[in-house]
C-alpha cells in the first residue's frame, strides 16, 4: 500500500494537538500529513521509517517530522499484546505552520524556528540532554491551557532549533505527487521486508514485489535508502538478535539461526560490523549492566 494521507482535525478550542499514548503497539500505518509532528518514545522498541531512513528506536527516542514526510514506527512483535504497564508509551505533538490564518512562525523573533521547520523536511532525530528537557516541556504542555500552550510550543521548538543534539534522518524530503507510484512500490517492499526479514528472504522475490529485475532493484533501493537491501536486512536481523541477547536464558547459537542467518560465522561478522562488538561480548556487557 502507498503511504496514507491523514487529515488532522483539531478541537475548536485548540490550535494544535498533543496527547500521551499508552498502547500495546503502534497501529497507525505508513502515512503523511500536512502538520509537523514531534514524537517522543518514552517506552518501546522497534524500527522507524522516516522518508528514506530506516533506523532502530528504543526508549528515549524523539523525532520531529516535517510536513508531508512519510513516516511509520513499527514496534517489536513482543510489545504487542502486553498489559498497559508494559505497553508502548509516547507523547505526540502535532501543529501546523498556520494557526487559524496566523503565521506565528513568520515573526522575526521566530527566525530560528523558521529555519528549524525547513530542516524538518527530512526528519530530525533529537537525543541527549535535549530529549530530557523536551519531554519535561511536553509533559507541562499536556496540562497547560490558554496562552501557556502557545508559549510552551514556542519554547519546545526553540530548544530544538538551538540544540546540538539534532541529526537529520532522511535525504528524501517531503512526499512529491510525482513520486506517488514509487512510494506505492516501496511500501510493497517495506511490507515484504518486515514480514520476512527473519526468514530466508529472497532478493529475487523482493525484486519481483517491486516489479523490477534484481540489478534494477538493487540500484533503486540503494538510491532511495542510501543503503543496500542486504545492509537493511542485516541491520534488522542484528537488532532482533540484540533484543534476544538481553534475555537471561538466551543462547547465542540459537539466536543466530532465529535471526535469519545461515552460518554462525556470518552472524558474528555482521554483528561485530554493525554493533562494534561480538555477540558474546555484547551479552556479557549487558548482563553486567543489570
Per-residue pLDDT of 226-247, as tens digits, reads 788 998 899 889 888 888 888 8
Residue 80: per-residue pLDDT: 44
Mean per-residue pLDDT for 73-89? 63
Mean per-residue pLDDT for 251-271? 94
**C-alpha R_g of the chain:** 20
Closest to 162 measured CA to CA, from 199, 140, 133? 133
Residue 177: per-residue pLDDT: 40
Beta bridge partners of 89: 22, 43
Q: Which residue has the higher pLDDT, 27 or 262?
A: 262
Q: Is 215 exposed, middle or buried (0-12, 13-18, 19+ CB in 10 A)?
A: exposed
Helix and strand counts by DSSP (H, E) for the chain? 10, 11
Q: What is the pLDDT of residues 199-218, one digit of tens each?
A: 988 899 999 998 999 999 99
Residue 285: per-residue pLDDT: 82
Residue 78: per-residue pLDDT: 55
Mean per-residue pLDDT for 72-97? 73
Taking CA atoms, 253 is separated from 215, 231, 244, 258, in Å, by: 33, 21, 11, 9
**Which own/partner contact pairs does 97-104 have at CB distance under 8 Å and 24+ positions apart?**
97/36, 97/67, 99/15, 99/16, 100/15, 104/150, 104/154
CATH homologous superfamily of 4-168: Jelly Rolls (2.60.120.10)
**What are the residue ranges of CATH 2.60.120.10 in the chain?**
4-168
**What are the residue ranges of CATH 1.10.10.60 in the chain?**
177-289
User: Under CATH, which number does the domain 177-289 receive?
Assistant: 1.10.10.60
Q: What is the pLDDT of residues 19-72, one digit of tens each?
A: 999 888 776 767 778 899 999 999 988 888 888 787 888 889 999 999 888 888
d(CA 167, CA 119): 10
Residue 85: per-residue pLDDT: 53
Amino acid at each position: 500500500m502507498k503511504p496514507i494521507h491523514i487529515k488532522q482535525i483539531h478541537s475548536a478550542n485548540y490550535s494544535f494537538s498533543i496527547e500521551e499514548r499508552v498502547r500495546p503497539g503502534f497501529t497507525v500505518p505508513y502515512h503523511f500529513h500536512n502538520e509537523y509532528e514531534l514524537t517522543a518514545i518514552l517506552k518501546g522498541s522497534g524500527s522507524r521509517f522516516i522518508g528514506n531512513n530506516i533506523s532502530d528506536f528504543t526508549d528515549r527516542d524523539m523525532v520531529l517530522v516535517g510536513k508531508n514526510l512519510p513516516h511509520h514506527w513499527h514496534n517489536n512483535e513482543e510489545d504487542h499484546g502486553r498489559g498497559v504497564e508494559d505497553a508502548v508509551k509516547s507523547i505526540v505533538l502535532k501543529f501546523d505552520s498556520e494557526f487559524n490564518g496566523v503565521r506565528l512562525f513568520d515573526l522575526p523573533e521566530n527566525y530560528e524556528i523558521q529555519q528549524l521547520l525547513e530542516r524538518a523536511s527530512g526528519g530530525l532525530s533529537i537525543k541527549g540532554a535535549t530529549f530530557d528537557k523536551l519531554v519535561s516541556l511536553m509533559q507541562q504542555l499536556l496540562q497547560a491551557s490558554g496562552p501557556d500552550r502557545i508559549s510552551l510550543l514556542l519554547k519546545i521548538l526553540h530548544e530544538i532549533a538551538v540544540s546540538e543534539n539534532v541529526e537529520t534522518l532522511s535525504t528524501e524530503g517531503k512526499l512529491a505527487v510525482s513520486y506517488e507510484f514509487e512510494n506505492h512500490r516501496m511500501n510493497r517492499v517495506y511490507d515484504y521486508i518486515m514480514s520476512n526479514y527473519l526468514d530466508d528472504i529472497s532478493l529475487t522475490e523482493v525484486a519481483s514485489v517491486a516489479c523490477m529485475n534484481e540489478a534494477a532493484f538493487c540500484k533503486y533501493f540503494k538510491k532511495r535508502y542510501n543503503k543496500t537491501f542486504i545492509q537493511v536486512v542485516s541491520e534488522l536481523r542484528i537488532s532482533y538478535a540484540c533484543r534476544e541477547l538481553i534475555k537471561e536464558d538466551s543462547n547465542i547459537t540459537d539466536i543466530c539461526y532465529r535471526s535469519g542467518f545461515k552460518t554462525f560465522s556470518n552472524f558474528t561478522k555482521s554483528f561485530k560490523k554493525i554493533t562494534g562488538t561480538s555477540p558474546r561480548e555484547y551479552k556479557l556487557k549487558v548482563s553486567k549492566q543489570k
